[in-house]
Chain A
Amino acid sequence: MALRFEVIGRFNRARAAQLTLPHYICQTPLFMPVGTQGTIKGLTYSQLEDIGCQIILGNTYHLALRPTAELIDDMGGLHKFMNWDRALLTDSGGFQMVSLLHLADITEKGVTFQSPADGQPMLLTPEESIQIQNKIGADIIMALDDVVKTTITGPRVEEAMYRTLRWIDRCIAAHQRPHEQNLFGIVQGGLDPVLRDICVKGLVERDLPGYAIGGLSGGEDKDSFWRVVAQCTAALPEDKPRYVMGVGYPLDIVVCSALGADMYDCVYPTRTARFGTALVPEGVLKLKHKVMANDERPIDPTCSCMVCKTYTRAYLHCLVTKDALGSQLLSYHNLAYMMRLSKELHLSIVEGRFPDFVREFLKAQFPRGDVPEWVCNAMEVAGIDISSCCAHLSAPVYKASAIPNC
């Protein structure tokens, strides 16, 4: 084990913690930007530091392809290669293979696929995934799991869950650097609470440094999504970090944090930036829209990032989707927004005002009180009273003007 996880604040299930990793001391809840190929698209490491990024995610599949794990190892590990001093997390490579590759198939041995380089049949085993991740050198590495889409039902889901448990033992055995890198297990089991429970218990028996909740964010309905998260966070140990993979939208992060999760990752903020969409407390701002052409306000008047302190919506409207700088500036702001969200989650829990924060967040996102039902149900389980935010729960108090202008 190469981490320390210390809970320093709570509200019901939500917790704020200090996560000490070999390269950095982090505050949770936190969001991890995805730096697929050893870089966050369009941003330098100094800008990521300015914004407050604590952990960055690298994709093992892409890095193993180019520039290869051997080369990264020769360079002294991914930290040195990228010149990133803070923490890194690598995934196992399994998910990308299954979702990106034609004719990828999962057997007991591992994931078989056609090499994208030359079409040769190849096999990614749990052992090999761990070996590659050992070479890359991230602070947190993920076990190779058998992940199925949540939209799939039937015996395949059960098979995948049991295989994931068998593979975790192979991952543990193959792990060469347990004192420098933390191997997280991933809870699978689809949307079936029985399977999820078995998987949680199985992983917890192995006493891993941390646990991830996998197999979500793949098209399942939100009602099923939050229930799986709630079940897993309730069953996973208190004193270890909990990482919900592939999440996501700010709203999802707030809900999952209320339910007791600590870490998140998603391509959404940077990807949506490249399409000209900015993240704001009210939701999203589509800068491509004609309406922005003469709007002299910053993206978000409450944001103190370099982009919001310098540029107007009108100018950014000209740049987005047309010029590289548009992508860069918007990615910068969107990640700054996510870091700010992470910080607010952490601080509001530590300072004993988490429910207020949640209510403020929901009011900004749903000014008409139309908070989705799944959020209301989740918050009830989380023990947070959001009746003042929900039109159908409280007496409607509408302003006469109505349509929000963004």
Chain B
Amino acid sequence: MRFAVKATSGGGNGKARAGVLQGWGSFQHSVETPALLLSTRKGLPSFITPDLLQALPLPDSRLLHVSPLHFMECPSSRTISSMGGLRQMLGLPEHLFVSVGRDSIDSLPVIEGTNKLGASFETPSGRLLVRPEKYMEIISSLKPNLWATLADEVPAWAVEKRNKASVERTIRWLDECIALDLSGGEAILGAVVGGSSLEERSRCAKEVAKRNVSGYWIGGFGLGESMEERPALLNAVVDNLPEEKLRYVSGLGLPEEILEGVAAGIDLFDSTYIYHLTLGGLALVFPLDTVDKSRRSPFDFPPSSAVNDGTKINLSSTIYRKDKSPILEGCGCFTCRNHTRAYLNHLLNVHEMLAQILLEIHNTHHYLGFFRSIRRAIGCGTFDMFRQSFIESRRELFVSSMTCS
């Protein structure tokens, strides 16, 4: 696989970078980074069928995150292989699949279940213990374009001894996965963990950097660490990884967290934000163009922060009952081009599945737009300003919406 850093953002500590993932093998497109991997359930988005998926922005929407945990039970590895792997099985031959053990929506690591034999996850099918051999068996049958090695992720409160052990294990499993890899090593992302310890994070990164891998998957975030301690931990990892290789972090899902990750030099993200918004009947509306304070007054939005906090609107609210406007004026997604807030309000009230379908489409479209804005800002050398502006304007809205209500 070919990844190249094209530009770094000026100003600040200048670690944000724009890159390009060049098409190789079955994936014949170029993708710009920083980029978002769309979350999937058994390989497909939660509510978007392939015919609707192709109406989302391209090539951005071709990047999918997939978890081997979804395929522990069925189809069998043999059947998946026989069908030709992910691309054929899902009918998405033009898409890029990045596989990571953890699925932040419903297959989370279980610290007390993991042992020297394998990593433990709590899933909808119960608790699963995943051994490296089984993990590699599924990976070889799925044939993702990129995949992370099996990791022992511990949450922020793990004791020092347990954390150290997780680093040892993760490195050992990294070597086992590399040894069991049948496809020449091109697609491997070495897993880096280390919990909330700066020393362990550095140590792990240094060890993984010695291995012959194409890029790095940074795990162990979004598991209880605070927003304050995270930047230092991210830097402890990134500072010990080679500049020119791809970095992907899981568990940083909210817009501010994405910006933080980009600022630390991360290239790929997955996020549960879209999924949770969708299930909650919420739709993203924050402006994607340059965040210019003068263009948005707190009084543009109704004063109830429960309904509209400037970032998202709660379409279940009765104030949208008769609203004939689209979710977001000017949004080019299928939902905004074809349906009104009133219709979505009705669908949510009567618990119809179409509500989630339309919301996932809009929210995905919008969040991909957010990533485009990030890339544009890096390209213009204005990322730090973009990030500052974004955070400040959200704070302002929270404050003003609280004073109005």
Cα A45 to Cα B338 in complex, Å, equals: 9
Cα A82 to Cα B82 in complex, Å, equals: 42
* Interface presence of B91 (CB below 8 A): yes
Chain B 73-125 interface residues, beta-carbon cutoff 8 Å to A: 73-76, 78-79, 82-83, 89-91, 124
**A322 contacts across to B, CB distance below 8 A:** 124
Contact digits for B33-50, partner A, Cβ 8 Å, 1 yes 0 no? 000000001101111011
Cβ-neighbour of A314 out of B45, B50, B79, B347 (below 8 A):
B79
Of A20-28, A35-43, A160-168, A178-186, the one with at least 4 CB within 8 A of chain B: A35-43
* Interface presence of B343 (CB below 8 A): yes
Given contacts A314-B79, A315-B89, A323-B42, is CB(A71)–CB(B322) below 8 Å? yes
Chain A residue at minimal CB-CB distance from B75: A314
Cα A46 to Cα B333 in complex, Å, equals: 14
A325 touches B352 (CB 8 A): no
* Interface presence of A293 (CB below 8 A): yes
Cβ-neighbour of A83 out of B82, B83, B343, B352 (below 8 A):
B343
Chain A 1-55 interface residues, beta-carbon cutoff 8 Å to B: 37-39, 41-47, 50
Chain B residue at minimal CB-CB distance from A311: B91
**B49 contacts across to A, CB distance below 8 A:** 47, 306, 325, 328-329, 332
Cβ-neighbour of B346 out of A66, A314, A319 (below 8 A):
A66
Cβ-neighbour of B89 out of A71, A83, A312, A329 (below 8 A):
A312
Q: How many residues of B contact A (CB 8 A)?
A: 42
Cβ-neighbour of A327 out of B89, B90, B339, B353 (below 8 A):
B353
* Interface presence of B301 (CB below 8 A): no
A294 touches B338 (CB 8 A): no
Given contacts A41-B352, A42-B354, A83-B343, is CB(A293)–CB(B47) below 8 Å? no
B83 touches A39 (CB 8 A): no
Cβ-neighbour of A325 out of B46, B74, B83, B338 (below 8 A):
B46
* Interface presence of B350 (CB below 8 A): yes
- Closest Cβ of chain B to A334, distance in Å, is 14
A324 touches B346 (CB 8 A): no
**B340 contacts across to A, CB distance below 8 A:** 75, 81
**A380 contacts across to B, CB distance below 8 A:** none
B42 touches A62 (CB 8 A): no
* Interface presence of B391 (CB below 8 A): no
B321 touches A67 (CB 8 A): yes
Chain A residue at minimal CB-CB distance from B353: A42
- Closest Cβ of chain B to A324, distance in Å, is 5
Given contacts A44-B52, A315-B75, 9 further A-B contacts (CB under 8 A): A44-B357, A67-B349, A71-B322, A71-B342, A83-B339, A312-B89, A314-B83, A318-B42, A327-B353
Name 12 A/B residue pairs within 8 A (Cβ), A-sorted. A37-B350, A38-B350, A42-B354, A46-B338, A71-B322, A74-B322, A81-B343, A312-B89, A315-B90, A318-B42, A318-B73, A325-B46
